[in-house]
Structure 1
Amino acid sequence: MASPSPASSTDRKIACNICRRRKTACDRKKPCALCEKSNFVCEYTISDRQPGLRAGYVSQLEKRLVELERRVAVVEERQPYDPFQAGSGPDHVANDHGFSPQHVASTTEDHTLSGSSIPSAPMQDGQQNPLPTPALSNPLPPTPKQVTFLDLQSYSVISEACEIWFRKYHRWFPILHQPSFTAVVLESGDLGISSGYGPVVQAIVAITLQHSKHEQMRDKLRQDWQDQISASVVTTAINVPTLNSIQGLLILSVLHYGEGASQRSSTLLALCRRIGDHLGLRHFLLNNNGLAATSPTALRRLPQFVNTIVEQEEKIRAYWMIEMLDHVAAIGARYTVGAALTPGNPLLPCSDSMWAFPEDVMNENHIRPYHYCSAFSLCVILATSELSGVHNFLLKPVMMQDFEQRDTWQSEAQRIDERLTMWRDEFVAAAYRLINAEYVHHDRPEMDPYIVLTNCVLNAAVITLLQQRVPCPSGIEQDVEPWAFASSRCIYAAENTAFKVRQMEEDELLICHPHLIFSIFVAARFYFVHSKALDANVPTNLHSLAFALHTCGKRWPLARTYERIIRIAVAEYRTPIAASTVPKEFFDLKLTTLEITDVLGEWVESVGHSLTMTDGLMPGLA
Structure 2
Amino acid sequence: MLNARASAQNPGDQDRDLSVDELWSGAESETNSRPTWNGSNGLKRKRPLTVSCELCKQRKVKCDRAQPSCGWCTRNGQLCEYKERKKPGLRAGYGKELEQRLDKLEKTIQSQGRLIETHILQNPRLLPDLPQTGPFPYSSPSEPSAAHGPSPHNDLFQEPSSLPAQDTPILGQHDYTDNDSSLNVPVNLFSNQVRSFADPELELPPYDLLYALVDLYFEHVNPWCPILHRRTTLDNFFGPSPLAEEDRMVLYAIVATTLRFSTDTRLNEQNRKQYHDSSKQKVLLYGLENSSVKALQALVILALDLVGSSNGPPGWKLLALITRSVVQLGLAVEPKSRLVAPVYPSIYTLRAVVLPEPDSWIEEEGRRRLFWMVYLLDRYSTIATAFDFALDDKDIDRKLPCKDEYFVKNQPVETRWFRHSHNRTDYINRAENVGFLGLYVEILGILTRIHRFLKRPVDIGSLSDVEEWQTTYRKLDSELTSWEFNLPNEYAYENSSRLFSGPKHARGLQCDWVQLHAAYQTAVIRLHSSAAYPTTRSPIFTPSYSASQRCLLAVDNILSVTRLVVNNKLLDKLGPPFAFTLWVSARLLLVHGSTIAHIVSPDFTFFVDTLAQMGMHWKVAERYSSILHRVLDEYGEYQQSGAIDGERTTPSTVKILADMRRCAFDLDFLISRQPRSSPASSSQPPMSSTAGPLRNLAPNELEYLDVFGFFNVPRVPPTRALDIASLDIEGTGSNNLSPMHGLAGGATDPADAVVDGHSSNMNDLNITNYLIPTPETDWLFRQTG
The TM-score bracket by the shorter chain reads 0.5 to 0.7
- Partner residue in 1 for 2:605: 543
Matched, 1:398 2:398: no
| 1:270 to 2:320 alignment | yes
Answer yes or no: is the 8 Å Cα contact 2:491–2:513 preserved in 1. Answer: yes
Equivalent pair of 1:351/1:372 in contact (CA under 8 Å): yes
Q: Please give the residue correspondences for 1:132-281 in structure 2 after superposition, counting only pairs within 5 Å.
A: 152=204, 154-188=206-240, 190=242, 193-194=243-244, 196-213=246-263, 217=267, 219=269, 222-223=272-273, 225-281=275-331
- The DSSP-based 3-state class of the residue aligned with 2:393 is coil
Deviation at 1:152, TM superposition (A): 3.0
Q: How does 1:469-484 map to 2 (within 5 A)?
A: 469-471=531-533, 481-484=542-545
Measured after TM superposition, the shift of residue 445 of structure 1 is: 6.1
How far residue 314 of structure 1 moved from its aligned partner, in angstroms, is 1.1
Equivalent pair of 1:101/1:188 in contact (CA under 8 Å): no
Check 1:423–1:523 CA distance in 2 against 1; reply closer, same or farther (3 A cut): same
Q: 1:167 to 1:240 in 2, by over 3 A?
A: same
> Structure 2 CA distance, aligned partners of 1:587 and 1:344?
35
C-alpha contact 1:287 1:345 (8 A) present in aligned 2: yes
Q: Map 1:520-599; keep pairs closer than 5 Å.
A: 520-573=582-635, 575=638, 584=661
CA distance in 1: counterparts of 2:134 and 2:393, whole angstroms: 52
Cα gap change, 1:391/1:605 in structure 2, threshold over 3 Å: closer, same or farther? closer
What is the CA-CA distance between 1:377 and the residue it aligns to?
Answer: 1.2
Instruction: Specify the alignment match of 2:369 in structure 1.
Output: 317
* Amino acid paired to 1:412: T
User: Measured at CA, do residues 307 and 477 of structure 1 come closer, stay the same or move farther in structure 2, by a change above 3 Å?
Assistant: same
> Is the contact between residue 323 and residue 391 of structure 2 (CA under 8 Å) also seen in structure 1?
no
Match of 1:450 among 465, 488, 512: 512
TM-score normalised to the size of structure 1?
A: 0.63
5+ residue gaps, structure 1 = 1-66, 93-99, 118-124, 134-147, 289-305, 596-600, 609-622
Q: How many angstroms apart in 1 are the aligned matches of 2:134 and 2:513?
A: 45
Measured on the aligned residues, the alpha-carbon RMSD in Å equals 4.7
| Contact 2:460/2:537 (<8 A) preserved | no
Tell me: CA distance 1:457–1:432, structure 2 relative to 1, closer, same or farther (3 Å).
closer
Contact residue 510 and residue 554 of structure 1 kept, 8 A:
no
Q: 1:483, CA displacement in angstroms?
A: 2.2
In structure 2, relative to structure 1, the CA distance for the partners of 1:182 and 1:282 (3 Å cut) is same
TM-score by length of 2: 0.51
Q: Quick check: 1:256–1:262 contact (8 Å CA) kept in 2?
A: no
1:603 equivalent among 693, 696, 699: 699
Residues 465-510 of structure 1 deviation map (CA, whole Å, 9 limit, x = unaligned): 23244358xxx87666422232122222222211211111363113
Letter in 2 for 1:312: E
Q: Counterparts of 2:572 and 2:246 in 1: how far apart (Å)?
A: 31
Question: Is 1:424 the equivalent of 2:467?
Answer: no
Q: Work out whether residues 259 and 556 of structure 1, in 8 Å CA contact, stay in contact via their aligned partners in 2.
A: yes
1:535–1:451 distance in 2 versus 1, CA, 3 Å: closer
The answer on whether the counterparts of 2:205 and 2:275 sit within 8 Å (CA) in structure 1 is no
Match of 1:415 among 453, 458, 475: 475
Q: What percent identity do the matched residue pairs reach? A: 20
The unaligned stretches of length 5 or more in structure 2 are 1-116, 160-190, 339-357, 415-429, 639-650, 673-696, 705-785
Distance 1:465 1:274 in 2: 28
Query: Residues 224, 570 of structure 1: CA spacing in aligned structure 2 closer, same or farther, 3 A cutoff?
Result: same
**1:252 & 1:150 partners in 2: Cα distance?**
17
CA distance in 1, matches of 2:202, 2:396: 51
Change (3 A) 1:178 1:445: closer
Aligned CA distance change for structure 1 residues 605 and 286 (closer, same or farther; 3 Å): farther
2:551 matched residue in structure 1:
490
Distance 1:569 1:73, change over 3 A: same
The offset of 1:259, in angstroms, is 0.8
The residue number in structure 2 matching 1:85 is: 136
Contact conserved, 2:210 with 2:255, CA < 8 A, in 1? yes
**Is the 2:458–2:465 Cα contact (8 Å) retained in structure 1?**
yes
Q: Write the distance in 1 (CA, Å) between the matches of 2:322 and 2:528.
A: 32
Secondary structure of the structure 2 residue equivalent to 1:86:
coil
1:170 aligned counterpart, secondary structure: coil
Deviations 1:394-422 (A, max 9, x none): 22111334444334323322221222122
> What residue number does 2:126 align with?
75
Residue 329 of structure 1 aligns to a residue in which SS?
Answer: helix
| Offset, 1:106 | 1.4
Greater gyration radius = 2
Tell whether the 8 Å contact from 2:144 to 2:212 is kept in structure 1 after alignment.
Answer: no
Counterpart in 2 of 1:334?
386
Alignment-mate amino acid for residue 243 of structure 1: V
Matches within 5 A, 1:30-69: none
The one-letter code matched in structure 2 to 1:486 is: A
- Using the alignment, how far apart are the partners of 1:446 and 1:505 within structure 2? 15
Residue 708 (structure 2) aligns with: none
Alignment of 1:106 with 2:147, yes or no, is yes
> Which residue is equivalent to 1:18?
none
Per-residue displacement from partner, 1:219-269 (whole Å, max 9, x unpaired)?
566445433322211211222211111111111111111111442223222
Change (3 A) 1:364 1:500: closer
CA deviation vs aligned residue, 1:543-594 (integer Å, no higher than 9, x gap): 33223212211211111111122223333446358878996468659979xx
Q: Distance in 2 between matches of 1:171 and 1:205?
A: 17
| 8 Å contact from structure 1 (residues 131, 232) kept in 2 | no
Summarize the Cα distance change of 1:116–1:168 in structure 2 as closer, same or farther, 3 Å threshold. Answer: farther
- Work out whether 1:465 is the aligned partner of 2:527: yes
Q: 1:374 aligns with which of 407, 418, 435?
A: 435
Query: How far apart, in 2, do the equivalents of 1:149 and 1:402 lie?
Result: 65
Tell me, in whole angstroms, the C-alpha distance in 1 between the residues paired with 2:553 and 2:666.
Answer: 17
- In 2, Cα distance between equivalents of 1:415 and 1:318: 31
Q: Is the 8 A contact 2:332 2:396 kept in 1?
A: no
Q: Deviations over 1:63-98 (max 9, x none)?
A: xxxx9xx9999725599xx996324xxx84xxxxxx
SS in 1 for 2:586: helix
Q: Can you list the C-alpha shifts for 1:138-192, whole angstroms capped at 9, x where unaligned?
A: xxxxxxxxxx8796363222211111111222111111111111112113274xx
1:398–1:409 CA contact under 8 A, matched in 2: yes
> Hey, what's the Cα distance between the residues in 1 that align with 2:554 and 2:158?
42
Is the contact between residue 285 and residue 346 of structure 1 (CA under 8 Å) also seen in structure 2? no
- Structure 1 position 196, deviation (Å): 2.6
Task: Name 1:389's counterpart in structure 2.
Answer: 449
- Offset at 1:279? 2.9
Correspondence 1:514 to 2:607: no
Q: 1:353 aligns with which of 397, 400, 405?
A: 405
Q: CA deviation at 1:378?
A: 0.8
